[in-house]
Structure 1
Amino acid sequence: MIAQLPADADVRKRLREDFETTFFVEAGAGTGKTTTLVDRIVALVAAGKLTTAELVAITFTEAAAAELRARVREGLEKWGTAETATAAASLEEASIDTIHSFAGALLRTYPLEAGLPPNFDTLDQIEQDLEFRERFRSWFEAAALLDLPSISIKNALLLGLSPDRIEGVARALHEHYDLLDSGASWPAPPAREALPRAAELAEKLRGLERWREDCLDPTDRMYDRMGELAMSAERLAEADSEGKALNALLLLDGFPIRIGKKANWRHDSLYRLRGELEGCLEEAREILSSRRAEILNGLLKALRDFVLEYAAERRKRGVATFHDLLTWARDLLRDNSGVRARAQARWSRIFIDEFQDTDPLQAEIAFYLAARAGVAFPAHWLDAELVPGKLFLVGDPKQSIYRFRRADIALYQKIQERVGEDVALVQNFRSVPAVIEFVNYHFGSAMHFEPDVQPEYRALVAEPSKEGGLWSFGAELAQVRQPEVWRREAEDVARSCRVVKDQGWMVSRKSDGERRMEPARWQDICVLIPTRTNLRRLERAFESWGVPYRLESGELIVMTQEVRELVSCLRAIDDPSDQVALVAALRSPAFGCSDAELARWRDTGGRFTYEAPGDGEAPRVREALGDLAELHRLRHELSVPALVETFIDRRLLVAQGFGQPRPRETWRRYRYVAKRARDFAATGRATLRSFVEWMEGLEREQYHDSGVSAAEEDDEAVRVLTIHGAKGLEFPVVIMTGWGSARRPERTQVIPDRIQGRLEVGIGESWRTPGYKLASEREKRADLAEAVRLTYVASTRARDHLILSLWRKEAWSEDPPAQAAGFEESL
């Protein structure tokens, strides 16, 4: 039987044979982009156009780089010529790496030219986070003590900025410091100081007192709150410094104007009072807004200087963050024409995989390497003349989901417009026709092209004669709260897992080089969740339905009950004054104290502190407090990892796991905390408190932890991942959840505009740079567009069966679940 050619066979043939064209390949989900990239590399080597030492191939993760290297070696060996055999043997000479590894190697090749010591070190992610926090807090304390007028930390705090928010802005500026320079500034309107206006505004507020005589009911809300106006007037009149004047004005900030009832006032007195009051409040708002703009401007300049000085200090010390590697490599190639020429001569072919999620600096580095030598470099790197065929870009803008890691769809589109020939791979080799039909149907209408925001949808083509299907559960709910939607969804997810397993749904599995249909096992089922919000309900539903499950994303594990309870115990060990953590520890499985025992302990004279516990009559509580006191003493003798493991052993947490439905999963979560403690200790940090604070930070932050232990081969369990964690993977059965949850764009404090090369900053409603409002509107559109792409990534992970949750609240007719309803079979 003659195999049917892919629908895009002509494109694939050109990519294997046309070596002198620069291709920009849009490879849809499941179209075999890695195979295409490997085939081109092998063909170039076989044709004598490329040696391994001249090859650069950049991909997204270290695991992907290792897989790509192995597949290139296999391809070269299979080709079977002397040239390809030699190339396979010398493949270690090739630069097949992540962009950070490649940039680091480039800098180590030219350290003096880059202004670095030859043996510079790279900080790991934990070290980067912790060192930045320590450096910022030292800077902040010093700046607050100095209270320089140009920074005015004191006034920033007075007007409502918290230290945590200031640190968040500093961290965001640090992540984008390649867009900063010592002259970067944010325009601000002329400041209107509060003190010169204080006395005048105080008189206006005192003048409002006369209207109180016209109130007929002293319980009226406006009458009642006019006392606050009088207090503000008094403080304004007494103010003898700018800080005191600002403090008085803050009493007016947010004062309600639409209160009081007309019937409680003579004639139109209430309306006239409101009119005069509105004038006072508007004047106060203008002063506060002006001062906030001035303070923010000075603060941002100070944070800019802190970030740039910290980066320069790292360079001098010979340590680099991941962002440093890219920034310094870019600077080296941009500013040193000699190094650029040598690098261009050394590497003749540059391949970049997963280009849709590339850091913009990576694209810039690639352009410098692929540019034609001996030609004057243009003012902007996007205008560079590239050597035909030297650069090969592969990506799928429909799968661009890493904006929080600096991926920029606007830059992707700009490069797509300018670089080489744009071709598409559309033949899907992964999913059954029913799934592809749905994907094309839904995303053909949901993914609308918008410049700089959303790519055009290109339909996929399915392979024929594949069995499988599209299924759904759930419906629209009227007059319910979102938690009820989540509860029903969780129940149906667990029920669907049981249906798939108990009914023996058939899935394809590769065995002895051939695909065959077999009944689904638990590990063939993957549940994808967009966020961690519904995790606990999902766990309870799995336990209720007897479904074994396994969390495979670190950002999910850190939110589990076992991890949070263990972290609470560690906080209680570190800080005897933290009664919230102490009570949580006593109630946790580590000590097992019931609420009745805790109440009896308190009622009989016991205290919730292990430093002076008192003489309560609950033996279990007394024993627990004694053990916590002993562990508190040991924290100075044991390292953090040793203390964590000692606690797990002493409290028999591993043995208690046997009482759980999934002992392996429980043990794995404890092992996760122990591993994170070892990772933390490897940075040189020694205190338990800093480890606990770091672990608690992981619960709040958006991150992806790929360092989760692999599943044992005999561990039969449903796999639960975030969509980001499932990127690049495929599963026989996928259950998509969270489609019916509201899409709330995250408020971003710092918004980069890479085309214009600037940063806009906004902290809440009151602290914004002049360009933030416009940038924020663009950011909201981009965030919603990425949410659509997330669902595309999720739905294209399915190989044989895709199950959609259509649970959602009433009147969401434009939401994806409503559009999908009726297209699939009910489950």
Structure 2
Amino acid sequence: MSETIPLNPITLPLNQISLIEASAGTGKTYTIGSLYLRLLLKAGENNFSRPLNVEEILVVTFTEMATEELKKKIRERITDAIDKLTAFAETQDKSAFKNDKFLTALSQDLDIFEAIHRLKLADQNMDLAAIYTIHGFCRRMLMQYAFHSGIHFNLELIKDQSDLLVRFANEFWREHFYPLDFESANFIATELVSPANVLSLLKADLGKDLQVEIENKQALSVPIQIFLPQYLGGYQKALNELKEFWLESGDEISAIITNELEKDYPKDQLKSLNRKKYQVKRLGDWINKINQWSNNPRDYQINTTLKDYFLQSSIEKNYEEQTDKNKDKKPATPFYSSIFAELEKRVNALMTPDLLSKLILYHYRQGLQQKLLDYKLNHQEKSFDDLLRLLCEALQGAQGDELAEMIRFQYPFAMIDEFQDTDSQQYAIFSKIYRDNPEKNTGFIMIGDPKQAIYRFRGADIFTYLKASEEAQSRFELTKNYRSEKHLVDGVNALFDFPQSPFIYQNINFTAVDSRDDHLRFYLNGKVEPAYRFYLTESDKVNKTEMAKICAISIQHWLKSAVENQAVFQNEDTCKTLQAANIAVLVRDKNEAALVKNELQKLGIASVYLSDQSSVFDSHVAVELLRILKACLNVAERPILNAIATALFGLNAADIHQIQQNEADWQRWADSFAQYQQTWQRQGILVMLHQILLEQGISERLLSQATGERDLTDFLHLAEILQQAATLHESEAALLSWFEKQIQGEGRQEAQIRLESERQLVKIVTIHKSKGLEYDLVWLPFLAVPSKDPSKKDINIYYSKERDETLWDMENRNLNALYEETFAEELRLLYVALTRAKYQMAFALPSQFDKKWNALHYVLSQGEIGKEINLSDSKNTETLLQTFKEKMQDNVEICTKPNLEALTALSINTKTDDLKAAEFTGNIEQDWRITSFTSIEQAHRRQNYFAESAGKKHAVFDDAKDYDSQNAIEISTALLNENESNILDLPRGKQVGTALHRHFENCYFSDLANTEEIDKLRQSLQLDETFTEPLQNWLQQISHTPLSNKIGITLADLENKDCIKEMPFYLAIREHFDVKAFNRALKAHHHLPSEPLQFEQIQGMVRGSIDLVFRHNGKYYLVDYKSNFLGSSLTDYNQEALKKEMLHSHYDWQYLIYTLALHRYLQSVVPHYNYARDFGGVFYLFLRGMNGEPQSGVFYDHPSVELITELDGVF
């Protein structure tokens, strides 16, 4: 491993593989922007070999939000550099750089005017910048280099496969567990609970390559159909036999033990049975408990009383306990009976229920993976994770070296942000591209912080990062914190800078960082606040409710002081008063968030939970809205009463009773709901819901309540969802049924709850979500909560460094590794939490830490508590904090008896100025659009039609298609003669063309006559079975028709890896498409006598889909299928007839557009591409005329270089 050195953005080498470790707040994004500027300008020392443009600098991160933020920040750095360099060019005064040390140093050797020019060009092209998510990058590469990746162009991307997983989890449960006998089904229902529960256990690791650590490997290899009867059924059988054996032997066992207990022993000798435990009065209770267990078919666990007292080994263990306490007495022989030995033999023969349930989970996981794989193969769909796998496989495949070279050629330099969140697959991709084949003209930088690797639950793998760190040529670190007040930085340094591995693993180092120079201070009531404030509860137990209350009251005191202008943030230049939005409370989950939110609400303090992942369908507003909609649909007494009894209407029991008793009142409500029903039917559900909102005063009523803003947001969100869903349902009743199912959770669509407001509110956010963010004041009320024992989980996964594998430890063989991984991540999570604040952090802690392991306990004790889940002793909290305070020179305040008292509810002014939308006075051009060859050709025919029809009563124009629209014969009545040549009389029309295209897309060309696919084709054409053989013979002839005498290839010769089927494209049109220039190019260079194109001026894009692109002997060919009927004789498909049809339908225009699109595509993906050398030509296959003879039904052309070059300038 190379030595880590401080980073200098001016001198960092850009032509090698480097790793940058960026501790929290040290300016990671700023550093990326600095390196980006150097790459654009070829500036600084140890430069890249040439200046790059924005399309050549690959920047990859892990979320859409991070990608947009990074692009925004880089653009800001570019525009800022333009402004400063321009000012410097005009004045030659370095004050123009405004203390920008980086840009000042960078400008030393720059041609300033050339630099400004390049930066302006970069700014103009930032929309083309190669800044992507990891999944976005993989998808681009797979599609762009489809020949090398083998990916279908019509690949559908599944953004969220949750619904599929729910469906398959339910299917697996039904298929394999419904047929089970009662006892086995009871085991499944108790251990696995439900398909939803199984999915929650398996989902996080479903895509991982897991190796299972278990002694009985055979249990993994048998299929589920055999496993369940053999293992689960076998367990139940053996358990029942054990129970029967006990019931048969119970009296004998009782007598044996009773006889032994009645024996007399010398006083100085031990007894064979430990009589402090084995007593006659207990024996009866024990036996009764075991009898009850034996008679209960639902109880499949091994009875604990049986295990603890009636196995031979437990008798001996209990005997040993008395020897330790009575060493002065003579030993005796531990009591032995063959019946206890037999019980032990039977118990030991049983697999533990825990292991059995884990094995069932393993098979469930296998089944889910297979179902998902089968579905994706059948539907040509892939998930985000599949994109990574496919690109990784392509890079490791036969053409992997060539693919890596092409990606390096396209992106000679790459930066991977947040690299600590990578995994082995992602690293394998970039390692193959940049590390395995290093070149002088490429560079690769990984940027991350292993101390902030907290997304293991999403698949992030810290061990991959550590491996990459060891393989990097150079390692750099950012050493200055620009986020936090000096003493906060000192505090983190003091907590984590100790020799006993502060992050458990030796190769995750902690380096103390410096702080910013400006003097940040938080003043409260005229005094400078300490950086750290700890509130200790009187209890020595973790009481979350008490901690949340202390947190809320502390915040209330802050805000009260702020109202009086006595809570102020100050640095050298500015001063601002504390507002609620400056405060963040960091929690672990929604339950902790709810505790804090509830306590704040009691004190009249509004807050927002920024990490809320709940569904709006789970809200109580959804249930109430359902009742209202039922009343609107069924205007009757019971539904109306249910509706008006909801909190949305605000009526109490007395109000509703009055309505029921007063006929006039009741009629008014009935009329209102009848009116709502009419509005729903005539104007839609959204209009109706807004009508109810206004007429019933729901908005005003809700906003007067503590949770009203949340409820109103949910109401409006649900109204919007219902409006969207209404377009997919035929009736109001169908929509209502759908809504009810959504609330019940059936096939639920994604509908994450929305934030109720963005105004001045206290923020509650999970520690995970807070990563990368900063807050002025941070409260951490629950940091003392002890860690959960990871060995108790159903799926225990850890990384084995020795085997370089991720293991599922079913039998808890290596708990130390499991504990280490868990504790290490807890420490990284603590580090993230402790590095979010800018001015101050506040904590609530118990007076004594728990005897379960805790990350804060670990760092406060400087690692002394060790790495065991159960601690032998816990430290006094105040003692630990006093040690910390001494290191911090009193920038810590410890409140041992918090004297916080709740004040009266606060009224915080959140009034804003009335706003008015700006009026748009500009002009929007309407001629930009996406068109197609068909649209262009239709427009041409319309122009001719109007020209030719002047003065005529009748004029006809037809549309050029891949099929026949004229005189189309109904397929259901079509007849096909037995004579094979009369396949020419196959039914005509769009349905035939579509079916044939689909057949060619779905089949391998070597297997076009596959019986199963032929049956699908025949059925889609509505033909009976007598047509199977003629269709097979015809498609066999098509696949074996030589396309050209020159290259001597047939469709059947093509390998799938050399083909792209149904290749979509968008061909950019220059600002204004010049029809005359197009016609001039055709006249000068096109050998077919094509008529001039008549078309209005357009700008935008031409969209199309090429039926087939194939590669043969290094050349690329374009193929289009035509099912047009040209006549009932093969002579109607000779070369002269084909040429005539090509001109009549203007197919030559089509293939010239397609050729130009393919030409531009190949230019972008094939290194050193040359049209004359690499483009093979165009084949138009008139399928009805292809009979196996060379070029039968085949039209071929190779547009000249001159023609394509000139058209490239026209479009």
Give the aligned partner of residue 552 of structure 2: 490
Residue-by-residue CA offset, 1:211-266 (whole Å, 9 max, x unaligned): 667699x996652463454466678xxxxxxxxxxx48727544566699xxxxxx
1:805 counterpart = 2:805: no
Instruction: Choose the corresponding residue for 2:825, options 770, 786, 789.
Output: 786
Instruction: Choose the corresponding residue for 2:471, options 387, 406, 418.
Output: 418
Residue 642 (structure 1) shift: 9.6
1:691 counterpart = 2:733: no
Give the aligned partner of residue 810 of structure 2: 769
Instruction: Please give the secondary structure, in 2, of the residue aligned with 1:51.
Output: coil
Is the CA contact (8 Å cut-off) linking 2:163 and 2:747 kept in structure 1?
Answer: no
CA–CA separation in structure 1 for the residues paired with 2:194 and 2:674: 32
1:110 counterpart = 2:145: yes
1:552 counterpart = 2:610: yes
Normalising by structure 1, report the TM-score.
0.74
Instruction: Please give the secondary structure, in 2, of the residue aligned with 1:792.
Output: helix
Residue-by-residue CA offset, 1:612-671 (whole Å, 9 max, x unaligned): xxx999x999x9999999999x99999999999899789865332222247545534555
Give the aligned partner of residue 431 of structure 1: 484
Distance 1:784 1:302, change over 3 A: closer
Distance 1:670 1:415, change over 3 A: farther
Instruction: Choose the corresponding residue for 1:443, options 493, 496, 501.
Output: 496
Residue 497 (structure 1) shift: 4.0
> Aligned partner of 2:535: which letter?
G
CA–CA separation in structure 2 for the residues paired with 1:802 and 1:679: 46
Give the aligned partner of residue 834 of structure 2: 795
Give the aligned partner of residue 170 of structure 2: 137
Is the CA contact (8 Å cut-off) linking 1:31 and 1:425 kept in structure 2?
Answer: yes
CA–CA separation in structure 2 for the residues paired with 1:290 and 1:471: 49
Residue 159 (structure 1) shift: 7.3
Instruction: Choose the corresponding residue for 2:19, options 19, 24, 33.
Output: 24
Give the aligned partner of residue 194 of structure 2: 163
Give the aligned partner of residue 36 of structure 2: 41
How do residues 187-206 of structure 1 correspond to structure 2 at under 5 angstroms?
Answer: 188=219, 195=237, 202-206=244-248
Residue 790 (structure 1) shift: 2.3
Give the aligned partner of residue 505 of structure 1: 567
CA–CA separation in structure 1 for the residues paired with 2:243 and 2:167: 43
CA–CA separation in structure 2 for the residues paired with 1:142 and 1:284: 32
1:346 counterpart = 2:403: no
Distance 1:83 1:232, change over 3 A: closer
Greater shift, 462-471 or 77-86, is seen at 77-86
1:477 counterpart = 2:512: no
Residue 553 (structure 1) shift: 2.5
Residue-by-residue CA offset, 1:684-732 (whole Å, 9 max, x unaligned): 998335533559999xxxx997x855954xx232222222222222222
Give the aligned partner of residue 159 of structure 2: 124
Residue 82 (structure 1) shift: 2.3
CA–CA separation in structure 2 for the residues paired with 1:682 and 1:447: 63
Distance 1:441 1:681, change over 3 A: farther
CA–CA separation in structure 2 for the residues paired with 1:574 and 1:57: 50
Residue 142 (structure 1) shift: 2.0
Residue-by-residue CA offset, 1:782-803 (whole Å, 9 max, x unaligned): 233222222322232222x213
Is the CA contact (8 Å cut-off) linking 2:609 and 2:764 kept in structure 1?
Answer: yes
Residue 32 (structure 1) shift: 1.0
CA–CA separation in structure 2 for the residues paired with 1:637 and 1:12: 67
Distance 1:635 1:113, change over 3 A: farther
> Aligned partner of 1:782: which letter?
E
Distance 1:536 1:517, change over 3 A: same
Task: Report the structure number with the largest CA radius of gyration.
Answer: 2
CA–CA separation in structure 2 for the residues paired with 1:107 and 1:353: 21
> Aligned partner of 2:892: which letter?
E
How do residues 588-599 of structure 1 correspond to structure 2 at under 5 angstroms?
Answer: 589-590=647-648
Residue 475 (structure 1) shift: 1.0
Give the aligned partner of residue 264 of structure 1: none
CA–CA separation in structure 2 for the residues paired with 1:592 and 1:773: 60
RMSD: 5.3
Instruction: Choose the corresponding residue for 1:520, options 578, 585, 608.
Output: 578
Give the aligned partner of residue 93 of structure 1: 128
CA–CA separation in structure 1 for the residues paired with 2:414 and 2:61: 11
How do residues 256-275 of structure 1 correspond to structure 2 at under 5 angstroms?
Answer: none
Instruction: Choose the corresponding residue for 2:788, options 730, 733, 744.
Output: 744
CA–CA separation in structure 2 for the residues paired with 1:443 and 1:729: 21
Residue 330 (structure 1) shift: 1.8
How do residues 202-601 of structure 1 correspond to structure 2 at under 5 angstroms?
Answer: 202-210=244-252, 222-224=283-285, 226-227=287-288, 229-230=290-291, 247=297, 250=300, 252-255=302-305, 282-283=344-345, 285-289=347-351, 293=355, 296-297=358-359, 300-301=362-363, 303-335=365-397, 336-337=399-400, 338-373=402-437, 390-445=443-498, 448-449=501-502, 455-468=508-521, 469-478=530-539, 482=543, 483-500=545-562, 502-508=564-570, 515-555=573-613, 564-567=619-622, 569=624, 589-590=647-648
Is the CA contact (8 Å cut-off) linking 1:208 and 1:276 kept in structure 2?
Answer: no
Residue 307 (structure 1) shift: 0.4
Give structure 1 stretches of 5+ with no counterpart. Answer: 1-8, 236-246, 261-267, 374-384, 577-582, 602-614, 762-767
CA–CA separation in structure 2 for the residues paired with 1:287 and 1:631: 69
Higher relative CO (Cα under 8 Å, sequence separation at least 6) belongs to 1
1:13 counterpart = 2:8: yes
Is the CA contact (8 Å cut-off) linking 2:586 and 2:780 kept in structure 1?
Answer: yes
CA–CA separation in structure 2 for the residues paired with 1:99 and 1:194: 48
Distance 1:421 1:138, change over 3 A: same
Is the CA contact (8 Å cut-off) linking 1:54 and 1:347 kept in structure 2?
Answer: yes
Residue-by-residue CA offset, 1:45-68 (whole Å, 9 max, x unaligned): 211342322221012322221222
Is the CA contact (8 Å cut-off) linking 1:733 and 1:798 kept in structure 2?
Answer: yes
Instruction: Please give the secondary structure, in 1, of the residue aligned with 2:191.
Output: coil
Give the aligned partner of residue 611 of structure 1: none
Instruction: Please give the secondary structure, in 2, of the residue aligned with 1:117.
Output: coil
Is the CA contact (8 Å cut-off) linking 1:23 and 1:423 kept in structure 2?
Answer: yes
> Aligned partner of 2:287: which letter?
M
CA–CA separation in structure 1 for the residues paired with 2:670 and 2:370: 48
Give structure 2 stretches of 5+ with no counterpart. Answer: 43-49, 83-114, 221-229, 263-278, 311-317, 323-333, 522-529, 632-640, 730-734, 861-876, 886-890, 896-1211
Is the CA contact (8 Å cut-off) linking 2:542 and 2:784 kept in structure 1?
Answer: no
Is the CA contact (8 Å cut-off) linking 1:525 and 1:718 kept in structure 2?
Answer: yes
Is the CA contact (8 Å cut-off) linking 1:57 and 1:97 kept in structure 2?
Answer: yes
Normalising by structure 2, report the TM-score.
0.52
CA–CA separation in structure 1 for the residues paired with 2:836 and 2:75: 27
Residue 459 (structure 1) shift: 1.2
Distance 1:293 1:640, change over 3 A: farther
> Aligned partner of 1:94: which letter?
A
Distance 1:531 1:276, change over 3 A: farther
Distance 1:355 1:735, change over 3 A: same
Distance 1:456 1:12, change over 3 A: closer
Instruction: Please give the secondary structure, in 2, of the residue aligned with 1:423.
Output: strand
Residue-by-residue CA offset, 1:326-366 (whole Å, 9 max, x unaligned): 22222222224232332232211111111112344322222
CA–CA separation in structure 2 for the residues paired with 1:18 and 1:793: 29
